[in-house]
Structure 1
Amino acid sequence: TYHLLLFFEKLKHTYETFEMFNRTYSSIQNILLGGDRLIGCPYHNDGIVLGSKGQLSYCAPKSKEIGNALEGSSQNIYKEQFAEKERILRENCSSCIHDYHAPITPREIAIEKNKELYAKYLNIEYAQKIVSIARWIKKIPKVASKTRIFIVGWYGTETVGDKAILGGIVDHYKNLYSNAEFVIGSIYPFITERTCMELAIDAKVVSTKTFDLLAYAKSSDIIVMGGGPLMDINELFVPLLGFKVAKAYKKKTVVFGCGIGPLKSERFETAVKDILKLSDQIKLRDKQSIETAKAYGIEKEIEFFGDPAKKYLTKINATLEVEKENILSCYLREWTFEYFNGTKDEFIVAKHKLEEGLAALIKEQADELGVERIELHHMHNFVIGNDDRDFSRYFIQKYFKDDKRIYFNKRLSTVANIAESMKRSRLNICMRFHSVLFAHTLETNFIAIDYTLGGKILNYLTDNESLTHLMKVEDILNKNIQPHDM
């Protein structure tokens, strides 16, 4: 089921351009998640099935035969058997997953109107008015003896690293509060529900694209911005509005294990400053982010906490029993424009050179080590945020088409299976930020490709005195592909 949910979301974002078909895919997803069919059906008003021998039925998948056109008037048969049509509507229509497309229904119109309403108010431009809106939102009842902790962030688009962050934050608050009740705000709740299942986290998952964000912000004891970067993305409204409402209702606010940047837009930088000012407690993941926060005029105490994923990974590492194999493993991602300083035309040229350099680096290291396999693993499996499997398919086809050593891991990625793959490998070539953190924390042999051009990867390796593992993009572009001091 989860694979299908991912597949239909990818269709909607990368392939299908016809809105009617996208509504059908959303309806199928809703049924897969346990809900009802959202779309209409042409058989409701405009269709009938005629078989090769004259058989008539109201719809192809669910209707019994209602008569035969060779034996009587089709029109009379259609009109006289409505009890069967009513039975289908009563017993089958709400759960029918067949992809019959139809014009938009009143129910779908209502859903779209709600989305428009949420989008109007849930954005950073509405921060000054959000408390007034929140007053009209009902509080969510809670057990007085429990401490409700509302964790928000980029959940719903989480990478394997974000999963480990969530695990680390939940463990932290479990140790502080034996009576903790967890609620997790998610952009795509079905993704985060899967994460909770993988990590055995008992939590309620709610959508941060609805007014549930405001309801739980005013109804929880603590609201936590749970890790990841505070950077140039529209979803900064999640912690900003959540913190605004929480402070109005005298709730505790925490920035937990976040980094700051990249920030190129003034509106997003202002939002990050406001989030930090609204925070009762600030725990940042790297020292450079602390300096940035101080430069923003934040005078309250800021704790250098590190990344919460690190503590979670350390905990599970003791449970992993893995034998070393003669393989080289890669954890790559597509290089995207927000991490480049220059024009888009310059970026296209640099991106192509980087890919060529990466391929050369991988082949050189594989030859030097004499490995039997080159394995490509994936820190992210969702279309939002760029599914790393898509990049791997492209990368293999372009640079490793005839290399018999190449192995593409098709499995969905978890914290445990990524950690196991790293411990099994003789060398890990890491590009995703958390792949660097994983490889370092697990004490493996690794090369860190700093696609952030002096951002979070450099900051992490600097804070952990591990710069010997760093490889700069400029070195790859200039064909100087030996890691520094390794």
Structure 2
Amino acid sequence: MNVCIIGWYGSETIGDRAILAGILALLAEQSDELTVQLGSLFPFFSERTIREDSPLWNDLTESEINVELFDSTNSGELGRAIQQADLLLLGGGPLMDLREIHMLSYAFRTARSKGVRCGVLGCGVGPLKKKSCVRAVKEILKVADFAVFRDALCLSALEQVGIRKEARFQSAIDPAAHCAELYRRKGSFGESLPRITVNLRALSTDYIGSEGIAQFNQFAEQLVQRISELGVDHDVLLVPHHYFYVGGDDRVFLNRLRFNSGCENIRVQNVPMSLAQTMNLFATSRACVGMRFHAILLMTVFCNHCRIVNYTGKQFGKIQGYLQTVDPTGFFKRGRMVSLPDENLSTSFVDDLLGDEPFELNPSCFSEAVDVYRKALQ
């Protein structure tokens, strides 16, 4: 089977790499002879992803997957990749206000004209406010043979911009969860080390107003200082989930926090880590604090002592959508999470991070969701 995958690859985060690994694992179940053409906005950046993550893909699937890159911003290369494909997938990431959404719409219309089956797999929705981008999303979903979103809240978000739910639209879980669970089953991680791993990111006005950004920056500095105090006998590692300037390199923000803190037990993971290295890092950490969506996802799979900074909305954001699946009892809502915006941000939610009861993730919460993907791909 020849599959063409497009999306936001070329500026991929660690989370995007986990999405891709999860999708490849699902595709490998469908075909013994799988060839993947991966569209990238910046192919030189995705070359590193393939080089570093291909051993992980082979381990997770117990097979050898051939992934070939092409420039998805080049209409000729995009058209040839679609022409050769049995299936076109928009593989993860959000349907949102980015000009590249029009390229994705063009790809789906091209696939339809050539009779190539196409689908949306594991995507989120939003921020989606620009009329032209809403039209592009409507065009994508109009021609898609199936669309499986990463949570049920995505379907509500579509309705808010005038896109009604259809029988072809389903919800499951982010494909990165499938990657993480497969890796957890195969892994042998040993005992945790005296380390608190922290992922924070800079915020833009897409998520919060300018006054809120200033408030958050102050809160972030206070938070890393408080975590440093908790972990006197621990290293505090600020770990990025994005290492590329397109999309915001986390190292810029994290190094600023480290510099302003003046704390000797805080350091930044400046050397880029692979997906497998990042998952191992979480699995061997005494505790974790996460902010980026996929940092939270991976932390909750691999580490029992976690705290969450929710910047995507108290009711309808992607973090809340994930927690509805993995935390039905409200473990994190009981004082183990802060949500933005909040005028009374406090670092007290981490005070008992090291001594609190552990979060127990039930892996079975993933199984039904992953089956939704399997049925869509058949």
Q: What TM bracket, shorter-length normalisation?
A: 0.7 to 0.9
- The answer on whether the counterparts of 1:152 and 1:238 sit within 8 Å (CA) in structure 2 is no
Q: Tell me if the contact between 2:258 and 2:267 (Cα under 8 Å) persists in the aligned partners.
A: no
2:178 aligns to what SS in structure 1?
helix
Deviation at 1:175, TM superposition (A): 0.6
Q: How many residues align?
A: 331
SS in 1 for 2:100: helix
* Deviation per residue, 1:126-164 (Å, 9 max, x gap): xxxxxxxxxxxxxxxxxxxxx210000000100001011
1:434 aligns with 2:294: yes
1:410 paired to 2:270: yes
Deviation at 1:301, TM superposition (A): 2.9
Further displaced range: 315-324 or 379-388 = 315-324
Q: Whole-Å Cα distance in 2 between the matches of residues 365 and 191 of structure 1? A: 33
Give the superposition deviation at 1:238.
Answer: 2.9
1:379 aligns with 2:237: no
8 Å contact kept, 1:213–1:238: no
The Cα offsets for residues 267-308 of structure 1, whole Å up to 9 and x where unpaired, read as 112211221121101111011002333551231232222111
- The alignment partner of 2:277 has SS state of helix
What's the counterpart of residue 45 of structure 2? 191
TM-score (norm 2): 0.82
Query: Which residue, 249, 252, 258 being the options, matches 1:390?
Result: 252
Distance 1:470 1:279, change over 3 A: farther
After superposition, the Cα gap between the structure-2 partners of 1:474 and 1:339, relative to the gap in structure 1 and judged at 3 Å, is closer
What is the CA deviation profile of residues 394-422 of structure 1, one whole-angstrom value per residue up to 9, with x for unaligned ones?
22222x1x211111212212111111221
State how 1:40-439 maps to structure 2 within 5 Å: 147-200=1-54, 201-211=65-75, 212-293=77-158, 296-317=163-184, 318-340=186-208, 342=209, 347=210, 349-398=211-260, 400=261, 402-439=262-299
Contact 1:230–1:258 (CA<8 Å) still a contact in 2? yes
State yes or no: 1:448 paired with 2:313. Answer: no
C-alpha distance in 1 between matches for 2:218 and 2:158: 37
1:462 aligns with 2:301: no
How many Å separate the matches in 2 of 1:481 and 1:190?
40
Report if aligned partners of 1:277, 1:298 keep a CA contact under 8 Å in 2. no
- CA distance in 2 between partners of 1:474 and 1:283 (Å): 29
Deviates more, 1:206-215 or 1:445-454: 445-454
Report Cα offsets for 1:166-209 as digits up to 9, x if no partner: 11111111110112211000001122222112221521100011
- The amino acid that maps onto 2:239 is H
What letter corresponds to residue 404 of structure 1 in structure 2? E
**Amino acid of the structure 2 residue aligned with 1:236:** I
Q: Which runs of 5+ in 1 are unaligned?
A: 1-146
CA positional deviation for 1:369: 4.8
1:203 counterpart SS class: strand
Q: Is the 8 A contact 1:449 1:472 kept in 2?
A: yes
**In the aligned structure 1, how far is the partner of 2:10 from the partner of 2:95?**
16
- Aligned-partner Cα distance in 2 for 1:363–1:153: 37
1:62-114 deviation line (CA, Å, top 9, x unaligned): xxxxxxxxxxxxxxxxxxxxxxxxxxxxxxxxxxxxxxxxxxxxxxxxxxxxx
The separation in 1 between residues aligned to 2:47 and 2:252, in whole angstroms, is 23
Provide closer, same or farther for how the CA distance between residues 412 and 246 of structure 1 changes in structure 2, counting only shifts above 3 A. Answer: same
Structure showing greater radius of gyration is 1
**Greater RCO between the two (CA within 8 Å, min separation 6)?**
2
CA contact (8 A) 2:220 2:257 kept: no
How far the C-alpha of 1:443 sits from its partner, in A, is 4.0
- Return the offset for 1:320: 4.1
Unaligned 5+ segments in structure 2 are 55-64, 357-378
Superposed CA RMSD in Å reads 2.0
- The 1-side partners of 2:296 and 2:86 are apart by 34
Identity of aligned residues (%): 27
Whole-Å Cα distance in 1 between the matches of residues 190 and 202 of structure 2?
29
Q: Distance in 2 between matches of 1:482 and 1:262?
A: 30
